[in-house]
Chain A
Amino acid sequence: MLAETRIPPPVLAELRAIAGAENVRLTDGELTVYARDATPLFHGMPDAVVAPADTGQVARILRLATEHRIPVVPRGAGSNLCAGTVPLTGGIVLSTVRMNRILEVAPQEMLVRAQTGVSTQALNDAAAAHGLFYPPDPGSHTVSTIGGNVATCAGGLHGLKYGVTRNYVLGLTVALPAGEIIRTGGRLWKDVAGYDVTRLLTGSEGTLGVITEVTVALLPKPAISRTGLAYFGSLAQAGQAVSDILAAGVIPSTLEFLDRTCMDAVEQYAHLGLRSDAGALLLFGDDGDEAVLARSFERIAAACAGCGALAVQTAGDATESEALLTARRCTLPALSRLGSLTILEDASVPRPRLAEMVARIDTIAARHQVTIATFGHAGDGNLHPTCVLESAEDTEGIARAEKAFAGIFAAAIEFGGTITGEHGVGAAKLPYLEQRLGTGQLDLLRRIKAAFDPAGILNPGKLGS
């Protein structure tokens, strides 16, 4: 444990010497805004915010912090949803925003090399200039950084067809707590020299090292993308349609569902003209050439109709498609129109259990008398049950919500699923991690953590604690 989190003046002087005085923030006001990320209810004041410019500076900061036992919490855009970037025990928030250069786009190798603080959107724009694309698209892709995506193994709307961040990370440059700099992987799809440290660091949530540069694989940009939607009487019906669509041999690039409550919230924000008489919405999309799309949309429509869809519609053009996807990505913040505290979870189950899981969530919500709106990546079995409460002061309501979520996690594990599909463990889900992994594996995680970070300075109170 770290007893002392105040930073002694000589250390501050060194931090200024490393990163430049203007990139070391110390005032109460400046620290206050870095005390939280996008997760409600978690809060921790840092002692300093430092924004280094490159890998070398990061390594020097880490070495200094290890020497003085000062916690370091890496932070990209702070769009984290599991309190993974909250400095629970103070220390240094290491902001990666200044490391925001695309280093190289290599169309022949279909990869891009970028500094950690480049936004996911900017990376994709750079790829698009070469007719390529980076498939993982977390909901916050306009905001989030590629380094943060790798550190959390971010998912998104394309998971079913294209996988998640880990499927695209080829190589990393990482500064370790003792100040060494390592380069894992490289530019190759095939490379089995040594343990797969790249994969270990992907999703390590800033607890093993600080990712400073990434090399990610790209794919040729499909000629056309198209989106459609189907209305159902209930979320369970929509869940059944998901199974039937996949059984029909289609792997859509997008397969998302929203329940009635989510539809209302999204409609209020985006004014898409969603039907108000349906209980659930299934948003589907695919990409490829015209022939592929025609065939897959035909099969999707047939599967939806077979599950009692009230209506199936296809977006008229790319703009309309993009509007639908944007609306889906905004579901969580849009839900906060219903109440100022939204606690979002991320439980996932194997696809065939989706309908059962949805039903279970309803039962649990009723039992604990909480409003839970559910949306999520239906094709991945990845649900985002979201509890909406009047305010953050409603401690009694929060307690009921926590009980409900404990029940949801238990159900997810019972169905062979997990406590978090894509948001991460952070501080928010650490208490449930043992339930998912068992004591033996949890212990292994701690030993791995100790091997990388013996002083325990990196993101304490999170994974590996």
Chain B
Amino acid sequence: MPGANDPGSIFDPQLLSRCISCGFCLPACPTYALTGDETSSPRGRITLMRALDSGTLPSGDPTLAEQASFCLGCRACEPVCPAGVQYGELLEQWRGYQWTGRHRPLAVRFLIFAAERARAHRIAGRLRGAAHTPASAAASGPSLMLGCFERSLFPGVSRSTLALAPELAVPGRQGCCGALHAHNGEPERGRQLAEQLGAELPGQIVSTSGGCAAYLAGVIGRDRVTELSEYLQGKVAGQVRIGDRRARVTLQDSCHLRNGLGVWREPRALLGAVAEYVELPGAGRCCGAAGTYALVRPRDSRRVLDPKLDQIEAAGVDYVVAVNPGCLRQLRQGLRRRKSAVRAVHIADLLRLAASGGPGARE
């Protein structure tokens, strides 16, 4: 069993009591769409949380374990909830209880272990060529957050960002935002890391990851965090062209950026300025990357992704643009598996391409 089951001690009672079970969340939930089973809906999961909290269900109940893990954590249920239930927060508290010790999925344990190796990320980021500016540059101006995995997985993103916004300071000494921890059973550690990052990067923090931006904003304050597409509003130039026509591009929203921070118009405005923008049906629906989900539940992640790939291919676009590294990785892998002609790119890379006017995005 995960720790002792003290009724009423797992969740913030104010948050847990908010849901009135109206069911308005059902159509928004990707896992409910897969199963049609109330158990895997936001409303059903809140009922489960309540049963856990009150002791009606023992903490070792298999449905609790399954549903805490099956949930994508995409928070698509939040904007559609008229009652204002903060589901994301509740899920963090649930996993904080459910995923302790050996109950934590192996992939999550590994990732958190890796995320904690700040020095290794710094070195890997340097080796892979992520952007950085001299420490002396970090004055009071805005700084770019590199992200723990993004800096080595997609080092080009920070380089493109710096090319688009050379005024940004990019100190190498900066840690993880803590979202990974918070969403995977370590809410306290997550907050700690976010606060630490807030101290390392004083002033305005610009993030190229929708998920990190949303989490960081929740801890250190919305006023200090700006997601890249917000930051670049009105500052983009050029066109992305394929031969003699404008490139056709579509966007896959970052769930937490859209559902948590309410940012979805901004990236569309930027893309519409540099290319022919095509709205993807269900662009706001999770791609199945969902943080650690693609590693913890690869099969379910693919079930969520597949219909989206169909839609992307049917949209007749040259590029699908991501605003979060996890989504980028998920889409790129999925499209490669299909040998699709559509290319997945980060918004920073596409905008840089537009500014330089050159053909073909670097990957």
Contact = CB atoms under 8 A, between A and B. Distances in A.
Considering residues A34, A77, A332, A336, which has the most beta carbons from chain B within 10 angstroms of its beta carbon? A336
Interface in B30-74: 36-39, 41, 43-44, 47-48, 51, 56-57, 61-64, 66-67
A28 B62 CA distance: 9
A441 interface: no
A333 B62 CA distance: 31
A332 B18 CA distance: 13
Contact of A337 (B26, B41, B47, B83): B83
Chain B interface helix/strand/loop/mixed: loop
Given A28-B61, A32-B57, A51-B36, A77 B47 contact: no
B14 to A, nearest CB: 8
Considering residues B20, B26, B43, B57, which has the most beta carbons from chain A within 10 angstroms of its beta carbon? B20
A32 B83 contact: no
Given A28-B61, A330-B82, A340-B18, A142 B38 contact: no
Considering residues B36, B38, B41, B47, which has the most beta carbons from chain A within 10 angstroms of its beta carbon? B38
A391 to B, nearest CB: 6
Interface in B186-200: none
B51 A32 contact: yes
A384 B11 CA distance: 32
A140 B26 CA distance: 11
A370 B23 CA distance: 26
Considering residues A27, A34, A51, A333, which has the most beta carbons from chain B within 10 angstroms of its beta carbon? A333
Contact of B39 (A30, A140, A333): A30
Nearest to A119: B27
Contacts of B39: 25, 29-30, 33
A248 interface: no
B284 to A, nearest CB: 15
A29 B83 contact: no
A140 B21 contact: no
Considering residues A28, A33, A79, A336, which has the most beta carbons from chain B within 10 angstroms of its beta carbon? A33
Contact of A336 (B18, B27, B57, B63): B18
B22 interface: yes
A98 B22 CA distance: 20
A330 B79 CA distance: 12
B21 A36 contact: yes
B20 A79 contact: no
Contacts of B22: 38, 79, 140, 143, 332-333
Given A28-B61, A38-B21, A77-B26, A33 B38 contact: yes
Given A38-B20, A142-B27, A29 B63 contact: yes
Contacts of B218: none
A331 B26 CA distance: 18
A29 B51 contact: yes
B21 A37 contact: yes
Nearest to A122: B27
A40 B24 contact: no
A432 interface: no
A51 to B, nearest CB: 7
Chain A interface helix/strand/loop/mixed: loop
A77 B36 CA distance: 9
Interface string A13-47: 00000000000010111101111111010000000
Contact of B84 (A27, A35, A95, A269): A269
A29 B38 contact: no
Contacts of A421: none
B17 interface: yes
A71 interface: no
B21 A391 contact: no
B81 interface: yes
Contact of A33 (B24, B36, B47): B47
Contact of B61 (A29, A121, A269): A29
Nearest to B44: A33
Nearest to A331: B82
Contacts of A29: 39, 48, 51, 57, 61-64, 66-67
A250 interface: no
B23 A140 contact: yes
Nearest to B32: A97
Interface string A132-153: 0000000010110000000000
A204 interface: no
Contacts of B82: 269, 330-334, 336
A177 interface: no
B57 A333 contact: no
Contacts of B20: 38, 40, 332-333, 336, 340, 342
30 contacts: A29-B57, A29-B66, A32-B51, A32-B56, A32-B57, A32-B63, A33-B39, A36-B47, A38-B22, A77-B23, A78-B21, A78-B38, A95-B36, A98-B36, A140-B24, A142-B24, A142-B27, A143-B27, A268-B84, A330-B24, A330-B82, A332-B22, A333-B81, A334-B82, A334-B83, A337-B18, A337-B83, A337-B84, A342-B20, A391-B17
Q: Which 3 A-B pairs have the closest CB atoms?
A: A29-B63, A330-B82, A333-B82
Interface of A: 25, 27-30, 32-38, 40, 51, 77-79, 95, 97-98, 100, 119, 121, 140, 142-143, 268-269, 330-334, 336-337, 340, 342, 391-392
